[in-house]
Structure 1
Amino acid sequence: MSSTTQSLKITDPRSPFFLHPSDHPSVILTTVLLHGQTNYENWAKLMRNALKAKNKLDFILGNAIAPTDKASDEAYAWSLCNSMINSWIHNTIDPKLKSYIKCFETAKGLWDDLKE
């Protein structure tokens, strides 16, 4: 992919790689904290809705897969978005639960682990 194409991809709000200037790792997507299985369904629904609004739902559904060429611009953009989503998810987890949560390289891995 040419750098011009990639540049359009990350600046196009319709692209899943687009990050708005107001997006940062400290953003809290929902005020409902995940406390465990007792409120997982409600929390997950709110998080899916928020991620959909930011065009990032495919990252937790497994449809936005890391590019195989790790040196590509697309892989870099994917990595930035994946890390941002991981932060957003962690921001909505009850601090008492955080010590029990494994570290995952992908937002999908973290999402799937929380589902269990």
Structure 2
Amino acid sequence: MAASNDGNPFSVLDQPNRSPTDDIRSPYYLSNGDHPRANLVSKILTGGENYNSWKRSMMISLLAKNMLKFINGKLPQPDPTDDDYDIWCRCNSMVISWILHVVSPNIADSVMYLDDVVAMWSKLHDRFHHNNGPRVFQVKRSMQALVQGSNDVTAAYFTRP
């Protein structure tokens, strides 16, 4: 085997028939530590009250694993005749499994039969991402009623409940 430009005779990047699963930069790459029962985040999605923080944690983890394209739709399912179809299905299933392991059992039951992780992610978003209109109104009303009076700015605005 010929040596690569970096002196490593075993460089995957120089092999003409390498698989996308061998390239760490590929969204199809899975490391030895990536398995279906992995818990990517410590927070379990229990409902709307913790959805935003759970979603943020999941997005950070999926970005770190180069799998964010699977949930945001930027890596759509290839045609079944495409060479990447089986690899895409494997990675899509892996991300589905990761999500199912970090949601409560009743939430998992409601989305587990979705075959596409984009549909699963979208269903979770539609179900739990709610703008809290009454709370927004209350906060805006409280902000309008704030008066500094004899307090300094910190006491008047930042420490007040």
Runs of 4+ in 1 over 4 A off after TM superposition: none
Counterpart residue number, 1:82? 92
Partner SS, residue 4 of structure 1: coil
SS in 2 for 1:112: helix
For 2:70, the equivalent position in structure 1 comes to 59
Task: Write out per-residue CA displacement over residues 54-112 of structure 1, whole angstroms, 9 at most, x where no aligned residue.
Answer: 000000000011111x1433111101000000000000001233233352111111000
Conserved 8 A contact 2:100-2:112: no
Q: Which residue of 1 aligns with 2:41?
A: 30
Question: Matched residue pairs, number?
Answer: 111
Unaligned runs of 5+ in 2: 1-15, 127-161
Q: How does 1:1-116 map to 2 (within 5 A)?
A: 4=17, 7=19, 9-68=20-79, 70-101=80-111, 103-116=113-126
Q: Secondary structure at the match of 1:109?
A: helix
Q: Which of the two has higher C-alpha Rg?
A: 2
For 1:112, give the aligned amino acid.
S
Aligned to 2:25, the other structure's residue is in SS state coil
**What's the CA shift string for 1:5-41, capped at 9, x where partnerless?**
5x1x110000000011111100000010001111110
What SS does the corresponding residue of 1:73 show, helix, strand or coil? coil
Tell me the distance in 2 between the aligned counterparts of 1:61 and 1:100.
20
Equivalent AA in structure 2 for residue 91 of structure 1: H
Q: TM-score, normalised by structure 1?
A: 0.89
Segments of 5+ residues of structure 1 without an aligned counterpart are none
Q: CA RMSD in A?
A: 1.5
Q: TM-score, normalised by structure 2?
A: 0.65
